[in-house]
A and B are shown apart, each in its own frame.
Chain A
Amino acid sequence: MPKLTIDGRTLAVAEGTTVLRAALEASISIPHLCWHPAFPPEGSCRLCLVEIEGFPKLELACSTAVREGMKVRTETPAVRESRRRVLEFLLADHPVDCPICDKAGECKLQDYYEDHGLTESVFREEKERRPKNIDLGKNLLLDRERCVLCTRCVRFLREVTRTGELGVFERGVRSEIGILEGRPVATPYGGNLVDLCPVGAITDRSFRFRTRTWFLVSRPTICPLCARGCAIDIDHHPGLPRRADSAGVFRVRPRPDEAVNGFWICDLGRYGYLDLHRRRLTRISWNRGGPAAEMSRAKILSVLGGKIREMAVRGRSSRLGLVLNSGLTVEELRSVRDGLLSRLPEARLWFDDPPPGEDDGFLLRAERTANRRGAAGLGFDLAPFDPAVLGKDLDIILVFGGLSVGKGRDEVLGQALASIGTKVLLSPVETGLEPAFDFLIPTALPSEKSGTFINVDGLARSFEPAIPVAAGVWPEGEFLAALAEEISRGA
């Protein structure tokens, strides 16, 4: 392990590490635009120049490998001066339209100018005018004026998705990012380009002009839409300053997790999970043919708890059915097993998971549910079942609607349920199944609760609530605990 000194701090790093990586690991910041931990160094932005003892000129931190005894200095006057000049060149042809740029607030160029630049530009020439609104396909928009040609987007499409839709066209000062005629970006990982772009050149049409980044609160959670369980950050608007739409969740972005998703997420997770936040169930209600009547937690708990307690007391627990899904967290499933099933030993149990989708060979898995390994680990039987068996010999059924409950089987499920006395649906989102049930209880999305998912590779990832629980929502964990307590009351 070679040792090097950066700004007087001695660090031991692995063989072959670059100076920039070594510095970042030690939390020493060196500005960089084109370098990204997922790619080999490119060395095109020239921002990461540092002073290394024994080298005649400033060296690129991103592409210089560490050697034993290297002495690096990142804050000498020469380094600071070079950064200032590089930034001046980058900004000479940058429109500086930060007020209308969606990236403003999280733009690296903006940050570096604030930290290292702050120069009056000496350029008196008119800035180059380029197209500002090029459709790249999907939700992506390209602004060529803002582009600093770091080529992160090009390298992502070449090296990660291997689709290569974007390229650098022309040469020298005329270089520009573009697509081939009629071949827009089509990869299901295109959304990552927006996060990857260090400036506001590639922006997301679905986020365009909706708010400014500094109003958003970003918190970590896990994407529940497939068995990969990608680490994500979810950005929500806390409500003030006022907005017309109350939709609190604005963005889903990947959070680096080397073992699970690297630095990326698929567009299904990015936009699909965002969509779920827009069609929520919001009221505990009782379907009585006409308009659904709203119920309080206490009321529904006493109704349901009373019925189930009676079953338990009379030893008729086999007439209770539970349809679970493996989108529930380990903690919730454990609470079903230890809280409910211990008191109702003969209750019937099924798992209704969404039908498998397509496995794209990269992140997205065929299994479209987050916690099958966790459920199997708790000893549950996850075999698929025929909804027709539900109708037989049941008085009460509790259905935990997953994030895509009843996809393609609404009809069958609805008919099967018709003969059961009391039908309860617990679901975070509107599924279209609501009319078939007597009671509806809105539950929490994974971003609103804490818990643990075990992903397809057996990696357990715990998460905390990332956004405030939506109005009227009763998280599954709390409901199960309350129900278990209600049932054991007086027993």
Chain B
Amino acid sequence: MVKAWGYLWALVKGAAVTTRHFIVNMWFHTLRLVGFKRLRAGAVTFQYPEVRKPLAARHRSLHRLVARPDGRPRCVACLLCVTVCPSECIFVEAEEDPDPDVQKTAGRFEIDLARCSFCGFCVEACPEDAIRMDTGTIELAARSRADLLFDRDRLLRRN
């Protein structure tokens, strides 16, 4: 019985918080409406899936592999991203590049997003500017772990 009163008390508290926010926000909105623009604006809820807030310029979103003009990745498989990755989510296998000036390229390049912590160290470590996290893709939910494994072609497609 005492426990039930506790729940009710929490409900009342919650309702009070909501009411406070409502009154405070309405107060600022009303002030703005009558011309007091220098005061802070009231909060506005973004209607997320339909309306999107712009991402910050340095926002780290889904990775992409930067391509050379011929469509092959810039990556030379130096494995510095693999070295620096704290989540050990990058897997790279080098192969011989047909271009003798390039010599080495990534035959396989996989990022396991299920492990990735989006720290961006790979981007900073890359000596070739071959990996970036600027695709702006932030909705990354998937139905299986396999769908979270981004391979070379999938990462190149974001160019």
Contact = CB atoms under 8 A, between A and B. Distances in A.
Nearest to B90: A241
Interface residues of B, number: 21
Interface stretch (A208-216, A249-257, A450-458): A208-216
A212 B79 contact: yes
A241 B108 CA distance: 14
Interface in A196-250: 209-212, 214-215, 240-244
Interface stretch (B3-11, B32-40, B91-99): B91-99
Interface of B: 76-80, 82-83, 85, 88, 90-91, 93-96, 100, 103-104, 108, 127-128
The interface size bin for chain A is: 10 to 19
Contacts of A490: none
Contacts of A99: 76, 78, 80, 127-128
* Pairs A-B, 8 closest by C-beta atoms: A99-B78, A209-B94, A100-B104, A241-B82, A212-B79, A242-B91, A100-B76, A99-B127
Interface of A: 97-100, 104, 132-133, 209-212, 214-215, 240-244
5 contacts: A98-B78, A104-B78, A210-B94, A241-B83, A243-B93
Given A241-B83, A241-B91, A244-B108, 8 more contacts: A99-B80, A209-B77, A209-B94, A209-B104, A210-B94, A212-B78, A212-B79, A242-B88
Given A99-B127, A212-B83, A242-B88, A133 B76 contact: no
A211 B93 CA distance: 8
Nearest to A143: B103
Give the residue among A97, A209, A214, A244 with the most B Cβ atoms within 10 A. Answer: A209
A244 B110 CA distance: 11
Contacts of A209: 77, 94-96, 104
Contacts of B127: 99
Give the residue among A99, A132, A133 with the most B Cβ atoms within 10 A. Answer: A99
A240 B87 CA distance: 11
A209 B127 CA distance: 17
A221 B80 CA distance: 30
Contact of B88 (A98, A132, A214, A240): A240
A132 B100 CA distance: 8
A143 to B, nearest CB: 9
Give the residue among A104, A212, A214, A215 with the most B Cβ atoms within 10 A. Answer: A212
Contacts of B85: 241
Nearest to A245: B93
Nearest to B81: A241
B78 A100 contact: yes
A480 to B, nearest CB: 39
Nearest to B102: A100
B79 A211 contact: yes
B84 to A, nearest CB: 10
B131 to A, nearest CB: 13
Nearest to A100: B104
Contacts of A211: 79
A244 B93 contact: yes
Contact of B103 (A133, A242, A244): A133
Contacts of B100: 132-133
A100 B104 CA distance: 6
